[in-house]
Amino acid sequence: MKSSNNTTPDALLDEGHGKPIVCGGCELLCEDLTTQSIQSGTGCVLADNWFAHGELQPESMIDEKNTPLTEAIGMAAERLLSAKRPLITGLVSTTIDTIQIACALAERTHAAIDANASETSILTAPTAVRVGDVTADFEELRDRADLAIFWGCDPIADSPRFIERFIQPVPHNGVRRTISIGPTPALPPSSHDLHFPVAENQLVSLARIVQAQVEQKATNRPSGALESIADQLKKSIDTAHCIGFISTTTEQTGLVSWSLSHLIRSLAHQKPSFGIRLNAGTATGGGNCAGASTVCTWRFGSPGAIPYASIAGSEFLPAEADAQRLIERNEVDCMLIIGRIPSRIEDLLTRSPQPKTVIHVSDTFPLSQHKNSIRLGCASLSHSTEGGMLRSDGRLISLQPFATSQQPSIQKVLNDLLDQVAVKTRRRSTP
């Protein structure tokens, strides 16, 4: 990997090629990479993509023209305050303190705020699933679970190193077996790694049957094949000492997660059992989904899909006021995208029939410029940014910047934007 245009080339050498670094490419927030491994290729496509963006030269522009950053920030504040319906999105490639500044901006401008995480685009999932969920962190799965059950998920697609880091190591109590339930096996099938091909629309029924067996209740016996799989699953569960269920939040009804939560809760009364939920990582643009949803929850009472941000209390409208739907319905006229742009948002804006004002604060700008766009360039998010991100199991991970930058940090750019919004708001309200 080449050194970044906006970094001091000697910084890498000064600090040593083997310095440990953190990857923010997906929610695993891997801490076991080094500067040497990113230069030679990490073996993880998402990570290589995350670090490659440090090579681009940030720039500040207004309406296709290069502009000094302070001037572009002033114009961005003006356009945010003039918008009828602003939306703040992105967020997940940035740190917790950056997201807090974004929330303050959302309050000041009465903006909608949503990080475009899959859970806020699902009507039922965020509320139904979290009631009484039994969870654990990834290391508990790695160290304790002698049976890992992948429930309708393909972790390799969204969190490429999940298997390598948390399933392949031998647990403290001996050998680990895995079972994949769903269309795709998480591991190549073998005597220790079973795969039961179950259609997505049968995952809820299967969870309900296994739960009934665990609780020794009668079932409606809907399908011989499904019941046979449930019997085999129950046998494996009976012989295990500690069971981890791994699922994702990608299915649209939320019922798979709901039924799995109930199964895990029933099992947890009998033996150590817990769920690990992985978010869809590839489309979000970064690994701090948990940080974005947690900060929004602290501040506004909900993880996202907030139509108007207010510290006095905000509505929570999943699958209604999430970023994707607000853009699809052309309900926003100005967007502030903070950090790397999620690919779903990029696709929507590329084919959006109605042009919007797009203010983008980032170290890379894949969107083409148009007459209503403002770019605010900042230091590399992957090479030069300090701060913390939250892993989806709640563990705080501190980034390890390894290169200095001539550009201001994203926190500084956003703080300056917040100051400008405050100044211009005062001016507007002064008679």
- Interface residues with ligand SF4 (CB under 6 A) are 23, 25-26, 28-30, 42, 44, 46-47, 50, 159-161, 287
Least distance to ligand SF4, CB of residue 17, Å: 17
Least distance to ligand SF4, CB of residue 270, Å: 33
User: In the bound complex, which residue of the shown chain has the CB atom lying closest to ligand SF4?
Assistant: 25
Which of 2, 48, 53 shows the shortest CA–CA distance to 23?
A: 48
Measured from the CB atom, is 140 or 158 closer to ligand SF4?
158
Least distance to ligand SF4, CB of residue 24, Å: 7
Tokens 């609780």, residue located? 215
Measured from the CB atom, is 101 or 117 closer to ligand SF4?
117
Q: How many Cβ atoms are within 10 Å of 367's Cβ, its own excluded?
A: 16
Measured from the CB atom, is 44 or 378 closer to ligand SF4?
44
Measured from the CB atom, is 26 or 147 closer to ligand SF4?
26
Measured from the CB atom, is 50 or 196 closer to ligand SF4?
50
Measured from the CB atom, is 30 or 230 closer to ligand SF4?
30
